[in-house]
């Protein structure tokens, strides 16, 4: 029986191979925005079973995100599971990078709101108007001009 540490090592080595040998870097993986990495991982995981992976955007007979690159048939059941694990790990990392970008964007937006904007009337920095915790607009600290948003 394979223990968790052995399987984990195999997945780590496969992910390393994918990056270093195949060139499937973070930048490459980030291009797959529609869950293709997860679907490919799932397809590898179930290849030696009677299950399959489908997608409404695929052709009727398609069961892999990139049919022209489908190498599942050449791998043993165990090897396919290792590849599946590495592909799912790649998808996990892609989602984490996307979440980090969204969080940074949110932080920048929050900072921009806290910093204020220039008054369209006199150019002085406007202060945020808050109702409870909700930001509803800006008020100029010099001329009292108010702007929504």
Domain definitions of the chain by residue range = 4-113, 116-148
pTM: 0.69
pLDDT grade for 2, boundaries at 50, 70 and 90 = low
Query: CA separation (Å) from 30 to 121, 122, 131, 135?
Result: 43, 44, 39, 33
| Residue 143 pLDDT > 60 | yes
133: how many CB neighbours lie within 10 A of its CB? 5
Q: What is the pLDDT of residue 80?
A: 96
The residue whose two tokens read 């996990």 is: 92
Place 105 in a pLDDT band, splitting at 50, 70 and 90. Answer: confident
* The predicted structure's pLDDT at residue 97: 95
Give the pLDDT score at 142.
87
d(CA 107, CA 113): 10
| Residue listed under structure tokens 């980090």 | 100
- C-alpha distances in angstroms, 147 versus 25, 76, 90, 131? 45, 64, 44, 14
């Amino acid at each position: 029986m394979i223990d968790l540490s052995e399987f984990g090592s195999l997945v780590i080595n496969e992910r390393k191979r994918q990056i270093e040998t195949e060139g499937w870097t973070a930048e490459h993986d980030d291009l797959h925005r529609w869950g293709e990495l997860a679907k490919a991982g799932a397809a590898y995981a179930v290849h030696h079973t009677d299950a399959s992976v489908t997608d409404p955007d695929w052709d009727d007979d398609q069961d892999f995100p990139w049919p022209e690159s489908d190498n599942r048939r050449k791998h043993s059941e165990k090897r396919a599971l290792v590849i599946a694990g590495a592909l799912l790990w790649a998808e996990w990392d892609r989602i984490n990078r996307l979440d980090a970008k969204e969080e940074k964007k949110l932080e920048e937006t929050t900072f921009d709101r806290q910093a204020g904007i220039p008054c369209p009337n006199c150019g002085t920095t406007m202060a945020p108007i808050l109702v409870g915790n909700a930001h509803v607009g800006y008020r100029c600290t010099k001329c009292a001009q108010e702007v929504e948003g």
